[in-house]
């Protein structure tokens, strides 16, 4: 028999666990920016402030003869660690998670791809060049190395305004650093 | 009694309500010589219905990670095939512990109904070894339902973009899951919804995107979102209050409100796993004293199953603005 003495305790324990998790959830929403949709607090369908409305981008910058060129790319999906760090950052956008994510993406090499699997182009059309992390999904063609000078990670929040109906995007967190020479 | 013996029911003294407890719970009400015995039998049927519904739910909604899905599917099939195992506290403790571990490891991804299912399986595990199994399980179901709806109501009142109607307006304009409702009741064309989704995709390009993008909407969507907001707060607060308060004479109101919530909400928001779980818990909280209520829960369970059919194109063709 499970070591719980009374029926009363057996009838209260699950609800007590629910309440405890909900308190942790409330704290994390207010202190760490956790989306109310996740974390066991039953805040689903209460806000558009969901992970899907937090946009994570990796931005590479380099100087050219006509000025600064900026390449804003989707989060690299090479490894489980990268995917998990990106999802955690979008769910709970803290500076610690941002720094950890920056550390991971700064270790990657980036390149300009002329042909990528993930691009959908009309037949016969010239595919648009795209910057991707080397070795990631959809990077089977030969790349041109991209000697970028600085790297940034940006997390933005998409918001909806009712009167009049419109969408806007604002920065939640960002970090930038020069390229680490190897 | 060893854990294994209990798990496979070799030494269990629990009564076996058969392979199809849902149907046994719906048998015609033949007069019983002993009313206590009849009530006990109905309570057993209510427990078995609820356990069977929960096992179906565990098997259907198990997380996709193989190391969670495999043990949960195995446990669910054992429980479904062997009625004695279904009444084993250790089987439910195993299911609950697996779910807690999965939710803990994937806490930023796990949906809320996965958390609720873990609590409910814990409640079943604890209740099956209580002195009064039926009463303990029913109390657990009532408290978990009350807590869930109280928290859901709290977040809807606490969140400014829900209480001002913005959440539903946005959802009707952009979310593909609500496209049929938007077209049918909000008179917004499919093209306008696609254009709104394209605007959202543009903002997902990050800092390169424009600062502000207008969405296409209609007056009907504006009014519909205000109505949906009010209805959601009222029905969720009512369900929460009904399960929190000791309603002695109108205890049936709990079941009515919960079924009304499930029938109306999940017709629009297709999260059927959550609907099934609420019904399994509702059926248990209703107890075995009212056979018609049990039948009603099973009927709603079947009705909600039909929501997964592709009704969207039918509704859109009816409501599509010319």
pLDDT in tens, A8-40: 889 999 999 999 999 999 999 999 999 999 999
CB of B270 within 8 Å of any CB in chain A? no
Q: List CB contacts (< 8 A) between B107 and chain A.
A: 38-40
Q: Give the separation between CA B143 and CA B242, rounded to whole angstroms.
A: 11
CB of B143 within 8 Å of any CB in chain A? yes
pLDDT tens-place string over residues B182-207: 888 888 998 999 999 998 888 887 66
Q: Test B143 with A12 for CB contact under 8 angstroms.
A: yes
- CA–CA min distance A16, chain B (Å): 9
Contacts of B189 (CB under 8 A, 6+ apart): B183, B320, B321
The two three-digit tokens of residue A38, written as one number: 């996740």
| Nearest beta carbon to residue B136 from set A7, A40, A169 | A7
Residue B8 has pLDDT above 60, yes or no: no
Q: SS3 sequence, chain B?
A: CCHHHHHCCCCCCCCCCCCCHHHHCCCCCCCCCCHHHHHHHHHHHHHHHHHHHHHHHHHHHCCCCHHHHHHHHHHHHHHHHCHHHHCCHHHHHHHHHHHHHHHHHCCCCCCHHHHHHHHHHHHHHHHCCCCCHHHHHHHHHHHHHHHHHHHHHHHHHHCHHHHCCHHHHHHHHHCHHHHHHHHHHHCCCHHHHHHHHHHHHHHCCHHHCCCEEECCCCHHHHHHHHHHHHHHHHHHHHHHHHHHCCCCCCCHHHHHHHHHHHHHHHHHCCCHHHHHHHHHHHHHHHCCCCHHHHHHHHHHHHHHHHHHCCCHHHHHHHHCCC
- CA–CA min distance B28, chain A (Å): 31
Round the average pLDDT of chain A to a whole number and report it: 83
The two three-digit tokens of residue A54, written as one number: 């937090």
pLDDT tens-place string over residues B110-137: 899 999 999 999 999 999 999 999 999 9
Confidence of residue B24 (pLDDT cuts 50, 70, 90): very low
| Contacts for B13-17: CB closer than 8 Å, 24+ residues apart | B14/B84, B14/B87, B15/B44, B16/B83, B16/B84, B17/B44, B17/B45, B17/B48, B17/B83
The two three-digit tokens of residue B233, written as one number: 């707060």
**Which of A79-93, B18-32, B111-125, B205-219 comes out lowest in average pLDDT?**
B18-32
What's the Cα-to-Cα distance from A30 to each of A25, A35, A96, B165, B258, rounded to whole Å?
A: 9, 9, 16, 22, 30
CB of B39 within 8 Å of any CB in chain A? no
Strand order in the sheet with A110-113: A130-133, A110-113, A143-145
Question: Does the interface predicted TM-score (ipTM) exceed 0.85?
Answer: no
What percentage of chain B reaches a pLDDT higher than 70?
A: 83
Q: List CB contacts (< 8 A) between A52 and chain B.
A: none
Q: Could you tell me which chain A residue has the CA closest to the CA of B211? A: A168
CB of B23 within 8 Å of any CB in chain A? no
Q: Is the distance from CB of B162 to CB of A47 less than 8 angstroms?
A: yes
Report the candidate in B195, B124, B59, B273 with the shortest Cα–Cα distance to residue A44.
Answer: B273
User: What is the structure's pLDDT at A175?
Assistant: 95
User: What is the structure's pLDDT at B320?
Assistant: 56
Q: Test B215 with A57 for CB contact under 8 angstroms.
A: no
Q: Test A158 with B203 for CB contact under 8 angstroms.
A: yes
What's the Cα-to-Cα distance from A50 to each of A38, B167, B172, B293, rounded to whole Å?
A: 8, 11, 16, 37
Angle (nearest 5°) at CA B47 between B41 and B52: 125
Contacts of B134 (CB under 8 A, 6+ apart): B43, B44, B46, B47, B287, B288
B32 vs A76, which has greater pLDDT? A76
Q: Could you tell me which chain B residue has the CA closest to the CA of A58? A: B206
Q: How much is the pTM?
A: 0.83
**Average pLDDT of span B165-191:** 90
Residue B322 has pLDDT above 70, yes or no: no
Residue A127 has pLDDT above 60, yes or no: no
Contacts of A169 (CB under 8 A, 6+ apart): A55, A156, A157, A158, A159, B203, B206, B209, B211
Q: Test A14 with B140 for CB contact under 8 angstroms.
A: yes
Report the candidate in A91, A102, A90, A92 with the shortest Cα–Cα distance to residue A55.
Answer: A90
Q: List CB contacts (< 8 A) between B109 and chain A.
A: 38, 87, 91
Window B:76-115, CB contacts with A under 8 Å:
89, 93, 103, 107-112, 115
Q: Test A15 with B143 for CB contact under 8 angstroms.
A: yes
Q: Give the separation between CA B55 and CA B129, rounded to whole angstroms.
A: 18
Q: Which of A98-102, A147-151, B176-180 has the highest mean pLDDT?
A: A98-102
Best of A26, A42, A70 to mutate (most B CBs within 10 Å, chain B)? A42
Q: Is the distance from CB of B64 to CB of B114 less than 8 angstroms?
A: no
User: What is the structure's pLDDT at B150?
Assistant: 98
Report the candidate in B254, B59, B54, B53 with the shortest Cα–Cα distance to residue B139.
Answer: B254
Using the 8-state DSSP alphabet, how is residue A49 labeled? -
User: What is the structure's pLDDT at A45?
Assistant: 92
Q: Test B155 with A46 for CB contact under 8 angstroms.
A: yes
Q: How many CB atoms lie within 10 A of CB A164?
A: 8
Confidence of residue A49 (pLDDT cuts 50, 70, 90): confident
B313 vs B156, which has greater pLDDT? B156
Q: Test A160 with B170 for CB contact under 8 angstroms.
A: yes
């Amino acid at each position: 028999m499970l070591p719980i003495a009374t029926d009363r305790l057996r009838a209260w324990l699950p609800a007590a666990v629910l309440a405890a998790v909900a308190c942790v959830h409330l704290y994390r929403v207010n202190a760490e920016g956790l989306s109310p949709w996740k974390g066991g607090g039953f805040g689903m369908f209460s806000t558009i402030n969901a992970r899907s409305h937090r946009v994570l981008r990796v931005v590479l910058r380099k100087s050219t003869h006509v000025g600064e060129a900026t390449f804003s790319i989707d989060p690299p999906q090479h490894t489980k660690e990268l995917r998990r760090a990106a999802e955690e950052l979008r769910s709970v956008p803290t500076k610690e998670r941002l720094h950890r994510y920056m550390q991971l993406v700064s270790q990657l090499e980036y390149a300009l791809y002329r042909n990528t699997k993930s691009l959908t182009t009309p037949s016969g059309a010239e595919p648009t060049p795209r910057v991707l992390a080397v070795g990631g999904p959809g990077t089977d063609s030969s790349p041109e190395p991209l000697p970028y000078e600085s790297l940034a990670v940006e997390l933005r929040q998409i918001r909806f305004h009712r009167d009049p109906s419109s969408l806007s995007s604002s920065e939640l967190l960002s970090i930038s650093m020069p390229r680490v020479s190897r | 009694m060893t854990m294994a013996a209990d798990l496979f029911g070799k030494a269990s003294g629990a009564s076996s309500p058969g392979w199809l407890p849902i149907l046994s719970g719906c048998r015609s009400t033949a007069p019983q010589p002993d009313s206590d015995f009849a009530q006990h039998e109905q309570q057993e049927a209510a427990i078995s219905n609820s356990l069977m519904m929960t096992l179906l739910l565990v098997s259907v909604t198990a997380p996709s990670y193989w190391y969670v899905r495999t043990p949960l599917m195995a446990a669910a099939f054992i429980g479904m095939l062997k009625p004695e195992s279904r009444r084993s506290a250790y089987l439910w403790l195993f299911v609950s512990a697996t779910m807690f571990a999965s939710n803990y490891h994937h806490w930023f991804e796990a949906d809320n109904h996965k958390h609720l299912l873990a609590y409910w399986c814990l409640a079943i595990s604890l209740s099956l070894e209580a002195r009064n199994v039926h009463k303990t399980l029913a109390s657990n179901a009532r408290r978990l339902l009350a807590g869930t709806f109280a928290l859901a109501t709290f977040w809807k009142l606490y969140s400014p973009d829900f209480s001002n109607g913005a959440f539903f307006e946005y959802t009707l304009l952009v979310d593909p899951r609500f496209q049929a409702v938007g077209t049918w009741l909000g008179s917004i064309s499919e093209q306008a919804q696609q254009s709104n989704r394209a605007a959202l995709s543009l903002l997902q390009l990050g800092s390169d995107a424009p600062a502000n993008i207008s969405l296409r909407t209609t007056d009907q969507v504006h009014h519909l979102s205000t109505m949906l907001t009010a209805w959601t707060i009222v029905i969720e607060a009512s369900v929460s209050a009904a399960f929190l308060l000791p309603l002695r004479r109108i205890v049936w109101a709990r079941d009515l409100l919960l079924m009304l919530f499930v029938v109306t909400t999940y017709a629009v928001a297709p999260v059927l796993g959550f609907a099934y779980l609420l019904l399994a818990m509702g059926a248990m909280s209703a107890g075995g004293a009212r056979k018609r209520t049990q039948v009603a829960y099973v009927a709603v369970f079947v009705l909600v199953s039909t929501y997964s059919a592709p009704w969207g194109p039918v509704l859109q063709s009816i409501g599509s603005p010319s």
